[in-house]
Amino acid sequence: MEKNNAKKLEKAIEKLRANLVLVEGKRDKKALELLGCENVIAVAGRKNQLANLINEKRVIVATDLDKSGNELAEAIKSEIEGFAQVDCETRRELGRLLRLKYFEDIKRKYEEFYENER
């Protein structure tokens, strides 16, 4: 793996740690918390209430990188765009760097990334 990819990965992880992150479910939330992300909300069943939950200027949407996750990301973006700056790019960057499809796997994929560096 390139050092450049490691830098990109750390920058993306730091964004997650520094911002409010919206994920699909409880397992996704737990996985991000294990990576040091403290401001994570699971949106399952709450999509229409998001505007009331958001009090941050920047929000990262970290839904799964599958068809339903992509659809949910678009729905979340249109729901809260007027309330916060919405970042859907970080999830795609993490998907590319970690070969990640489901955010519940992010901690394992992150560790594998660095194990493969050796």
> Domain range for residue 23?
3-113
User: Is 93 inside a domain boundary?
Assistant: yes
pLDDT tens for the chain, residues 1 to 118: 578 999 999 999 999 999 999 999 999 999 999 999 999 999 987 666 777 777 778 999 999 999 999 999 999 999 888 888 999 999 999 999 999 999 999 999 999 999 986 5
- Report the CATH number at residue 91: 3.40.1360.10
User: Is 11 inside a domain boundary?
Assistant: yes
User: Is 118 inside a domain boundary?
Assistant: no
User: Is 25 inside a domain boundary?
Assistant: yes
User: Is 101 inside a domain boundary?
Assistant: yes
Q: Structurally, how many domains does the chain consist of? A: 1
Distances (CA, A) of 49 to 16, 66, 86: 22, 23, 16
